[in-house]
């Protein structure tokens, strides 16, 4: 028998997704367990990245794997982008909090990031290409910035029915929960 996953994905327009996240201060077993459960959720949902607010946690934690190879798992704690550089490119991004919705987002190719590891060690590292894009997307989540804010007006319009459906589903779920 398989255990149900610990975390469920918080879907748009849940207001949790708009709240800024708070710094992690304890680098302990609990943090390691949260990160492991986030990786598990990310993989089960076939995502390339996941930010803590997407599983209902207001904490500055990101997990990602831009290739799907086991060795490319990356967990960033208290990450901040120090510098964005390189040519700006567009790429069609998706987000686990917006199932079925995709839109072109313009972002610089490279980013320099300062973050802490699970052990609390501070690292400064540069990323480029798709991995940099995933980090920039996930970092947005920590500030409550979402795919819908970044996509072009044309893509927003093209996805209008899907957005309306998510809002409808959210309201139905609230009503069912009697809130
Ligand atoms: Co996202």
Distance (Å) from CA 146 to ligand 1 centroid: 7
- Ligand 1 centroid to Cα of residue 135, in Å, is 10
The pTM score is 0.95
Ion ligand 1 neighbours (CB, 5 A) are 95
Is 138 considered catalytic here?
yes
DSSP letter string, 58-122: -B-EEEE-SS--GGG-EEEEEEEEEEEEEEEEEEEE--TTSTT--EEEEEEEEEEEEEE-TT--E
> In the chain, where are the structural domains located?
15-176
Alpha carbon of 101 to ligand 1 centroid (Å): 11
Please list the pLDDT of the chain residue by residue as tens digits (179 residues): 456 678 999 999 999 999 999 999 999 999 999 999 999 999 999 999 999 999 999 999 999 999 999 899 999 999 999 999 999 999 999 999 999 999 999 999 999 999 999 999 999 999 999 999 999 999 999 999 999 999 999 999 999 999 999 999 999 999 998 86
Which one of 30, 69, 80, 138 is the catalytic residue? 138
In CATH, what class is 15-176? alpha beta
């Amino acid at each position: 028998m398989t255990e149900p996953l610990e975390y469920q994905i918080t879907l748009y327009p849940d207001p949790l997704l708009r709240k800024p996240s708070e710094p992690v201060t304890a680098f302990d077993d609990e943090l390691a367990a949260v990160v492991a459960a986030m990786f598990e959720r990310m993989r089960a949902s076939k995502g390339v990245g996941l930010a803590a607010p997407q599983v209902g946690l207001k904490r500055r934690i990101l997990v990602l794997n831009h290739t799907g190879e086991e060795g490319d798992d990356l967990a960033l704690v208290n990450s901040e982008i120090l510098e964005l550089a390189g040519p700006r490119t567009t790429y069609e991004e998706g987000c686990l909090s917006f199932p079925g919705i995709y839109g072109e987002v313009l972002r610089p190719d490279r980013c320099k990031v300062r973050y802490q590891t699970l052990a609390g060690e501070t690292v400064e590292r540069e990323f480029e290409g798709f991995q940099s894009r995933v980090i920039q997307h996930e970092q947005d989540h920590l500030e409550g910035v979402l795919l819908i804010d970044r996509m072009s007006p044309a893509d927003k319009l093209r996805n209008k029915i899907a957005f309306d459906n998510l809002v409808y589903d959210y309201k139905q779920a609230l009503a069912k929960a009697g809130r």
